[in-house]
């Protein structure tokens, strides 16, 4: 079947969700926003549906107490909405090392349904998983049914993220903006910590940075360094600034020399514009990038 023959509506996708199903969705911006923002509308028709997510960016309506009989939520990242809903008794935190999250999930039970987001198909029929391949490709391969929300606003990235439309069961055509994180301005304490950390980093070192004021302060303090590299769980907005100012080149890396390697990207629109069709950025599987 062609891509167009596989396109379905949101309502058709939701109708495929049945009681006792196990659903996995993508990490962060790779989450299926349309499905997850509307899944609560089928609560009266289902029971005991398990949703596994990580760093969810959806509205979280399905986390409301009135839906506890319909949905169980397993969270690989215990975000504020999950912590708030934990008191309802249907939310569980699943401790994990990120490089093992997908593998351990499959060892326990494979997903009946995977839902995520992707870029538009190219002229050869390949979509890109775009912002994340932390565990997404593993779940796509293992799931009984796969639904991807195809979105022209999602960046086309390279690495382990290209999948042919023939390997996907259904597509929903979407047009929402890529979920983003607000830029967090470092406070005075963050800046002092960032400056201290920057003193410990030498020219040619390889970086991993995370979310928040301190990582942003570190990135800002590193702009005077030379030939830094990136091999990171999360590609951040601050890393783009380091690349653009010339502090990060990847020239001294011994693995993927000259490439900026991450397992997912989450930040501002400038980050998404930077990684779009950028061959210097590699989004690789979390079991590889984060393998100690």
Res 244: pLDDT: 98
User: What share of the chain has pLDDT > 90, as a percent?
Assistant: 88
Q: Which of 141, 162, 185, 233 is catalytic?
A: 233
| pLDDT > 90? residue 211 | no
Res 277: pLDDT: 98
| pLDDT > 90? residue 107 | no
CA dist 201 and 150 (Å) reads 40
Res 275: pLDDT: 99
Res 73: pLDDT: 97
The alpha carbon dihedral of 125, 173, 138, 26 has a sign of positive
The tokens describing 167, both together, are: 């390997």
96: confidence class by pLDDT, cuts 50, 70, 90? confident
Residues 86-93: what's their mean pLDDT?
Answer: 95
At 251-290, the pLDDT tens digits run 999 999 999 999 999 999 999 999 999 999 999 999 999 9
CA dist 86 and 91 (Å) reads 5
Residues 163-183: what's their mean pLDDT?
Answer: 97
pTM of the model: 0.95
Res 79: pLDDT: 87
At 221-250, the pLDDT tens digits run 999 999 999 999 999 999 999 999 999 999
| pLDDT > 80? residue 292 | no
Q: Answer yes or no: are the C-beta atoms of 127 and 162 closer than 8 Å.
A: yes
Q: Which CATH architecture has domain 4-173?
A: 3-Layer(aba) Sandwich (3.40)
The tokens describing 209, both together, are: 């940075």
Res 105: pLDDT: 79
102: confidence class by pLDDT, cuts 50, 70, 90? confident
Active site residue 66: no
Residues 131-136: what's their mean pLDDT?
Answer: 97
Q: Which CATH architecture has domain 188-289?
A: 2-Layer Sandwich (3.30)
162: confidence class by pLDDT, cuts 50, 70, 90? very high
CA dist 80 and 84 (Å) reads 6
Residues 97-124: what's their mean pLDDT?
Answer: 90
Res 280: pLDDT: 98
| pLDDT > 80? residue 97 | yes
For 254, other C-beta atoms within 10 Å of its C-beta total: 7
CA dist 73 and 95 (Å) reads 14
Q: In whole numbers, what is the pLDDT of the chain averaged over residues?
A: 96
| pLDDT > 90? residue 175 | yes
Distance set, CA 285 to CA 8, 46, 64 (Å) = 28, 33, 32
| pLDDT > 90? residue 4 | yes
Domain ranges in the chain are 4-173, 188-289
Res 104: pLDDT: 79
Distance set, CA 184 to CA 38, 89, 181, 249, 273 (Å) = 29, 32, 9, 25, 19
Helix (H) / strand (E) containing 148 = strand 145-150
183: confidence class by pLDDT, cuts 50, 70, 90? confident
């Amino acid at each position: 079947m062609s891509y167009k023959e596989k396109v379905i509506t949101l309502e058709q996708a939701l109708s495929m969700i049945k009681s006792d199903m196990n659903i996995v969705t993508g990490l962060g911006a790779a989450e299926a926003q349309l499905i997850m923002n509307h899944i609560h509308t089928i609560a009266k028709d289902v029971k005991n549906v398990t949703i596994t997510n990580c760093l969810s960016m959806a509205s979280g309506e399905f986390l409301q107490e009135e839906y506890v009989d319909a949905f169980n939520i397993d969270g690989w990242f215990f975000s504020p909405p999950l912590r708030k809903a934990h008191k309802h008794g249907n939310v569980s935190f699943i401790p994990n090392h990120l490089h093992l999250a997908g593998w351990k999930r499959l060892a326990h039970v494979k997903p009946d349904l995977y839902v995520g987001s992707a870029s538009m198909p190219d002229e050869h029929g390949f979509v890109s998983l775009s912002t994340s391949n932390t565990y997404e490709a593993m779940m796509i391969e293992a799931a009984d049914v796969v639904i991807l929300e195809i979105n022209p606003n999602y960046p086309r990235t390279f690495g382990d993220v290209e999948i042919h439309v023939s390997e996907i069961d259904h597509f929903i055509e979407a047009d929402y903006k890529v979920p983003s994180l607000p830029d967090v301005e470092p406070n005075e304490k963050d800046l002092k910590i960032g400056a201290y950390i920057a003193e410990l980093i030498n020219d040619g070192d390889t970086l991993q940075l995370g979310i928040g004021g301190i990582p942003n302060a570190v990135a800002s303090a590193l702009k005077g360094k030379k030939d830094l590299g990136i091999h990171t769980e999360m590609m951040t907005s601050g890393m783009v600034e380091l690349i653009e100012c010339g502090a990060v080149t990847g020239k001294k890396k011994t693995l993927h020399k000259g490439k900026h390697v991450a397992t997912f990207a989450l930040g501002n629109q400038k980050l998404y514009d930077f990684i779009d069709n950028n061959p210097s950025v590699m989004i690789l599987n979390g079991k590889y990038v984060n393998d100690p």
